[in-house]
């Protein structure tokens, strides 16, 4: 047996009590409602920081507005000639004279 379950790995379990993955929908909604009155002030502070040239504020706005860049990989493979034609499979045949 290879004992794969003992290898560890990256756990996605929430371990902190303030982790939002442990919150129910109603708890998330309550948190949103409690923070909603602070939104206009937060927007004003972000605007002031952007006008002051704060790098973190500009970066935060661009990440929110445009999103983070996603890495794409071209998975298209084109083969110009078949693989088997390029392999040297010249094996002498056994004619049974041995």
Q: Determine the Cα–Cα distance for residues 43 and 36; give it in Å rounded to an integer.
A: 12
pLDDT in tens, 20-70: 677 788 888 998 999 999 999 999 999 999 999 999 999 998 988 888 877
What is the per-residue pLDDT for 55? 94
DSSP state of 38: G
Phi/psi for 67 (5° steps) reads 85, 165
- The residue among 58 and 7 whose pLDDT is bigger is 58
**Phi-psi category of 15—alpha, beta or left, where left has phi over 0 and alpha has psi -120 to 50?**
alpha
Would the CA dihedral through 16, 20, 23, 26 be positive or negative? positive
Q: Determine the Cα–Cα distance for residues 48 and 42; give it in Å rounded to an integer.
A: 10
What is the per-residue pLDDT for 65? 87
What is the per-residue pLDDT for 49? 95
What is the per-residue pLDDT for 72? 75
What is the per-residue pLDDT for 43? 92
């Amino acid at each position: 047996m290879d004992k794969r379950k003992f290898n560890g790995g990256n756990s996605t379990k929430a371990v902190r009590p303030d982790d939002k993955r442990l919150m129910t929908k109603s708890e998330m909604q309550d948190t949103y409602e409690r923070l909603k009155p602070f939104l206009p002030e937060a927007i004003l502070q972000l605007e002031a920081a952007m006008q002051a040239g704060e790098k973190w504020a500009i970066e935060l706005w661009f990440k929110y507005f445009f999103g983070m860049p996603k890495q794409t990989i071209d998975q298209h493979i084109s083969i110009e000639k078949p693989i088997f034609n390029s392999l040297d499979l010249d094996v002498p045949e056994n004619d049974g004279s041995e």
